[in-house]
Amino acid sequence: MESTDRTKTRQKSFTFRTSVAWHSESSGTATANGKPPIQVSAPREFRGNPNEWSAEDLFIAAVEICHMQTFLAYAAQHSVQVVSYTSHANGVLEFIDGDYRFTRIVIFPTIGVPAPGVENEVHGLLREAEKHCLVANSIASIVEVNPTIIVEQG
């Protein structure tokens, strides 16, 4: 019997592993198997090294990356051509009930499409990505997406 996308079973759980080693003050190295190490620190706001990635930076980046990947997967699945994708994101960290927590993350993607007429479909795919991004679904923060769609004619 031929295997199709509809008959494939999906694995129900995955395990991702990382390691962190402390070096000095609030700096260390984060690693994941087979990937280049990254230097990490507390954020500048908490007396960390402003030239190194912080957990806060990585947290916001994880949501932003996941949203991009989810959107691009939906675009490919629906045969919507994307010419370019860039984004930036803002994460709001607030002191609430004695603890800091991210309360809101806003992603600002700019998506290039090759011709007019697909903007509504792209907005729909962005809503699906926002709804199904696994990282955003795994956190308590509100995640908003404010896109700009441009037609890039070659």
Tell me the pLDDT tens digit for each residue of 73-92.
Answer: 999 999 999 999 999 999 99
Is residue 44 located within the same domain as residue 61? Answer: no
Is residue 72 located within the same domain as residue 106? Answer: yes
pLDDT tens across 8-60, in order?
A: 677 789 999 999 999 999 999 999 999 999 999 999 999 999 999 999 999 99
For residue 137, the domain's CATH number is: 3.30.300.20
> 18: exposed, middle or buried (C-beta count within 10 Å: 0-12, 13-18, 19+)?
exposed
- Inside any domain, residue 37: yes
Largest CA distance in the chain: 61
pTM over 0.75: yes
